[in-house]
Structure 1
């Protein structure tokens, strides 16, 4: 359904046009619309009116208007007259989010900023023939912006006294994004404005944070409020498909208020219940979510999300390299979004719970955050060095960890279902958000698995930045649930590891990141052997030992510090890994003492050309190791469709290194591997050393933790 059909169906009656991507709404407000733009605007107006909706055209001239300029006033009238001639009968003048200061000409012409705004607004209102609906948005449009307070604000007092009585004043509540609207606060502002306000409700607006989406019900506004208002406008999510539940439940709220006023129906029917309204909205949305995309809608969506696209190459691989083994051939062509699956009701409830409201998380998000906080705080219970932990406490940690991991798996499966769902319009609008949370949940899941794995080392360091729940506005803390999970991780303050645009080509492949197990060694050795063949572009020598590549690239880490190795796997098995060394100095000594002698025994001198040539960690200068004591190596197969998963895999290792006290990590890359160099640079790695300053050719990149 189009927006007008939905609004008509749910009993809503007004649509205000004021999009920020229409430059002639705010930045270029003086310019009239072209004939083509006029045609588009007329279509919107006619469509709305044919559905019984009032179309309100809003203009925002406040950023640079000179109130005393007759020229600016003439241009303002010309613009609104043009829209009026298109059939629009309702208007709004917005002076929100602008500087209070006036130019010298305005200061000489008007007694105050409010006086200037009111004078221009009154004249425009009269010029348009005093239309029945004319809205005015003040600069002090909520309680927190009023100086010194709502009741004592000279600005609001001037508006109340001088603005013509039939002009409606817009108000957002006590805050820009108000958690609740009370009768008492509305009575106060009504007294000052000398008229009931119209609420511009930002409860579901998400334009201030690119990582947040609000799918929860209309909440915190009693239906009785409607008797003290001239109307209520809901400022929705930027994404069209994300507004089904917000607008559906707004319609339920509006109907409940009308029935309560008329005294119709039982008390339970008249009373608005957000949870009951949410269930009704979910039932209706489920039918639409699993319907194929309607004809004509696909052209309206971003062209970047299309199902048949070339597969991206991960960093460090050559495009067009021949496949080795059967895994790549099995994987080829699968995983890209195809639109064949169905979203279950439990998955949609999970989706809503994870992207609920700006001041409130849904049940699933609350469980996710509570369990992660508790598991991290009490991680010493499962350390093998903690002999005093009561068995029941250890069992509690394991039980909560299992519940947390299960929820993370549900989030990963939700991502796959959204990508593989029938309704592509929903995919286009929701994909960036479910993808972002999927990646963050993968890191958190790997971290909890790593904490719970039996190990002898003691966690030296972990960090949790305190969250200030009393922050006045939701935008003060970025990221929503993804951001809060991120900040609970040791590397949470490194935003470049978490905030990236989603890949152009959505994939429904199910990924998992977990700590290394000894049984993974065979598969990892096979993987790096395949990667070696692809990068070398030729067959492997028959005389070479099958383990030589694995022993050279992975062997020392897997043998001496396996606790800092993480595996990436999909439905087909292992497809990537990242290996870390916490302390390169001590690791080098252990290599000399045990690993290198073992390799000399495994590869005797008579096996010419097959010795793994284990790297001598002692070659790195002390000046490097002082700031970057840890090292990493990242490998992934080329058929990895979602290249961002490599970033997530690397972040899982950095989380573990930081948790155990590392202050910096480095890696060595061949100077010709531009893709990997670019990949690491985007994650905050900087060039530290080049080969000409050392005995090897590689470029050393490092980043602080």
Structure 2
């Protein structure tokens, strides 16, 4: 069973260009990617400065992209992260939120994400506070499907260390209090889950009182450590059998939009082929479809360096050889590799703290 597949542009660092977004939709829609959630952490008007309205020019860009999605039969959505709104959901906050919702709804949203991720959450009454906000938004979101990312969106204890200990029964309370039509996101047993199992998803379904909407953190490569690596390999650890246990499967793509299409295509193939799926063969087919035979072969031959060794450990000699190899190709994916070698997407801790 193939679930609803889609793209979540939800990473830290440099966001995509509008042209890159449209090209990704065009490339992946034929393989079953049916939604795109625009939610880059670097868009301050969706996160830390969410109270500030979008300019007319920014709204026009969003509107144009929404139309590009619809031309390919892809649902268009925006992920709003009203930073720390649950600390003081007063009349002024409601007025600002209402104004922002009016702008977003005017785009004709198919999906509206309400994301409480990556902000402090150690409040005993966190769930009821967030439920009140979501209910308020639901009454003003028009026909858009609501997709909520909880503050604690994984079992991974790293969230408790960084954002404070999660309240007791937080997920159960959230699932019990939210309307059954509202989707709840989940990244798995870890922030960047190595695999998803039917048993794990069944347990989360019980907590949520609904099937989880997967926010899959592969092939994303943001952050000071992951930005040193290109995530190009085919999907593994996502057996087709999980399709019956999830509401949808969204992938948080890498900072390199063209290269991201390679693993994205393999996920669709994994669901399509089921137990017949072979990840190396899937990689080769996807790489050739995105890159053409010659560039696909060049990337496969250097996969250990690009994905495993990583930029910071290449050394000048190997970096020079890679630059020479990929400079020979006139292809946007080759240019992405060259820009990565030059440090174009490297971000620091301060980016995580300010975006």
TM-score by structure 1 length? 0.42
1:349 and 2:300 are equivalent in the alignment: yes
Partner Cα distance (2:306, 2:84) in 1: 33
SS of the aligned residue for 1:97 comes to: coil
1:414 and 2:322 are equivalent in the alignment: yes
1:115 and 2:128 are equivalent in the alignment: yes
SS of the aligned residue for 1:2 comes to: helix
Partner Cα distance (2:122, 2:196) in 1: 30
Equivalent residues in 2 for 1:145-160, closer than 5 Å: 145=157, 153-160=168-175
Deviations 1:259-280 (A, max 9, x none): xxxxxxxxxxx63221121111
Partner Cα distance (2:98, 2:196) in 1: 35
Aligned partners of 2:79 and 2:114 also within 8 Å: yes
Equivalent residues in 2 for 1:485-634, closer than 5 Å: none
Matched with 1:189 is: 204
Shift of 1:160: 1.5
Matched with 2:266 is: 249
Matched with 1:285 is: 290
Matched with 2:333 is: 426
Matched with 1:276 is: 281
Partner Cα distance (1:231, 1:284) in 2: 25
Matched with 1:135 is: 147
Matched with 1:47 is: 68
Shift of 1:155: 0.9
Q: For structure 1, which runs of at least 5 residues remain unmatched after alignment?
A: 103-110, 258-269, 290-342, 373-407, 437-474, 477-705
Partner Cα distance (2:131, 2:273) in 1: 35
Aligned partners of 1:62 and 1:98 also within 8 Å: yes
1:34 and 2:55 are equivalent in the alignment: yes
Deviations 1:171-191 (A, max 9, x none): 000000011111111111111
Shift of 1:124: 0.8
Aligned partners of 1:160 and 1:192 also within 8 Å: yes
Deviations 1:605-630 (A, max 9, x none): xxxxxxxxxxxxxxxxxxxxxxxxxx
> Which one of the candidate residues 213, 220, 232 is aligned to 2:237?
220
Deviations 1:583-602 (A, max 9, x none): xxxxxxxxxxxxxxxxxxxx
Aligned partners of 2:85 and 2:93 also within 8 Å: no
Matched with 1:9 is: 30
Partner Cα distance (2:92, 2:317) in 1: 62
Equivalent residues in 2 for 1:404-483, closer than 5 Å: 412-423=320-331, 425-434=332-341
TM-align CA RMSD: 3.0
Aligned partners of 1:197 and 1:231 also within 8 Å: yes
Matched with 1:698 is: none
TM-score by structure 2 length? 0.80
Partner Cα distance (2:55, 2:291) in 1: 40
Q: For structure 2, which runs of at least 5 residues remain unmatched after alignment?
A: 1-21, 162-166, 350-355
Partner Cα distance (1:244, 1:414) in 2: 21
* Equivalent pairs, count: 315
Alpha-carbon spacing, 1:415–1:128, altered in 2? closer, same or farther (3 Å): same
Partner Cα distance (1:344, 1:36) in 2: 37
Shift of 1:253: 2.5
Aligned partners of 1:16 and 1:56 also within 8 Å: yes
Aligned partners of 1:216 and 1:353 also within 8 Å: no
Partner Cα distance (1:44, 1:355) in 2: 31
Aligned partners of 2:218 and 2:254 also within 8 Å: no
Aligned partners of 2:86 and 2:130 also within 8 Å: no
Partner Cα distance (1:256, 1:95) in 2: 35
Shift of 1:344: 5.0
Partner Cα distance (2:296, 2:114) in 1: 42
Aligned partners of 1:347 and 1:414 also within 8 Å: no
Partner Cα distance (1:351, 1:225) in 2: 32
1:90 and 2:105 are equivalent in the alignment: no
Matched with 2:221 is: 206
SS of the aligned residue for 2:288 comes to: helix
Partner Cα distance (2:257, 2:295) in 1: 21
Partner Cα distance (2:254, 2:192) in 1: 13
Partner Cα distance (2:58, 2:318) in 1: 45
Alpha-carbon spacing, 1:134–1:33, altered in 2? closer, same or farther (3 Å): same
Deviates more, 1:167-176 or 1:272-281: 272-281
Partner Cα distance (1:355, 1:77) in 2: 45
Shift of 1:98: 0.7
Matched with 1:168 is: 183
Matched with 1:504 is: none
Shift of 1:256: 3.2
Partner Cα distance (2:99, 2:296) in 1: 51
Alpha-carbon spacing, 1:344–1:101, altered in 2? closer, same or farther (3 Å): closer
